[in-house]
Structure 1
Amino acid sequence: MIATQSPYWLRLNGLWVHLEGVTPGVDVAMARPSSSFISTDGYQIWQRAPRGPRSWELNYTYATPDAIAALQAAAAGVGGSTDTLLLDTTMSAQNMLAPEDCWGDGAAGWALGAGVYIDGIPLDTGVSWEISCRADTTYFFGVVTDHSVGTTVGSITDTDGDTDVTLTRQSGNPGVSASFTTLADTTITVTLAAAAGKTAWGPIFAETATTPTAFVIGQGTPCPVAIVDPDITVNRAWYGGNTAGETSWADYSVTIQEVAAQ
């Protein structure tokens, strides 16, 4: 059996495990709480949280031992919820930042690719993001700012000292961008330095070797998760021929629940 190239990776105790063998057709449920009421003058008022936790329903017909061992260990509490992260590479190729990190309360402006007119992030006190990244992987960061061309805007560093990128305002769109490849599993810090009266629009941090052509709101990956104990279905089948006999195998299903979502 050749394991499927699943887009899911689980970080457990600081190490990434590829969750291979996932059956195609994963349901990702969103749980953003909301409520509505009608005021005395007849207007309907709709309220909702900034975002809600997601859950992934993974099914395995032919599970790889490493994937099931990692999921069962995480469900048993190995590593703790703060260290157990789920990475979805279909999302990380778009924008790994949390959605609320991609806009602020500044003046609206165009993001990368002029596809979204978005509220800007004031840089009067600066801003920074931390992202858990995998080894030997190429990443892209881009953001639109109103700095003058040639101005040093910020930096990209990591916890191991292997990554040290200076961000400079260039001409064109997005204006500030950089690509780099990690040498080891690490935490990357992207910093836009304090600059009075300056604004940033539509930051993208993506797991990709190519420059994105348009801004996509942050997908919040990797994210802290809790693993529900995997359900097991035992299958049995008879086979004939010269070596007739019976074989059995186990199918697994598991719910992965996002925690600590704001």
Structure 2
Amino acid sequence: MLLLSENIRYLRGQLGYSQQRVADDLIITRGRYGKYEDNVAEPPIEILLKISRYYNVSIDLLVSVDLKKYPLKDILELPDNRILLPVKVDNRGENKIEIIPHKASMGYLNGYADPEYIESLQTISLPFLTFGKYRAFPADGGSMPPHQDSSYIIGKYLEQLTDLKVGKTYVFITRSEGITYKRLSGVFDEALEVCPDNSCFKPYNIPLWDIFEIWEYACSIATKEFSKDDLQLDSVAIMRMLRELKNEVKELKEKTR
């Protein structure tokens, strides 16, 4: 919880408040609040919620992002439960497309909110991708043909869950799986249902609390030449259609019972 202690000390300093004033507003003792700033004690969830509301900064940001690296005005204007998205720009101020390497893809979970990590990544520029923030992720070729394991999926950062569209493909950054590229097949109150295009894999749910980021498919880059077998897509499409037809027939049968 070191980030939390540093963040609340920083936020208090930016507001020009004393520890006593903050403690009085939170209805706790100054000594107790001081222990949170000194990282001597961790606040229980009810106090953490109070601190989050007091500074108008989400708990996610308080415990996972070094707030000193961002303008306070930008932090306070973020919608609830948003994570700051570090981006890399060139000397003309244009966003670059960061490349998440295959061998170090799991490291993205630790560095996705760290500007220094993002700054260390190699980048490419694709002028036909505009109006958004893009990032290149290694493909999971086994479950999403025709994309091979050596390919990259370039995704556009999704600002809100309401922008999700069933039937489209997305790169999901999650606690449990890391980076996974799947097709969205359902949106529920507490989870998203995703479906690999490879019929050997079954659809499954990703809880909303498990998701860090979502990137909508924009384009892909293949680093190896396709073989004829790779391009036999008709069978894959037919199997997908048959599966969808089977589900529709099942739903009709259930409605007529």
TM bin (shorter chain):
under 0.3
| TM-score normalised by length of structure 2 | 0.27
Write 1 or 2 for the structure with the bigger share of strand: 1
Q: Which has the higher helix share?
A: 2
TM-score, length-scaled by structure 1: 0.27
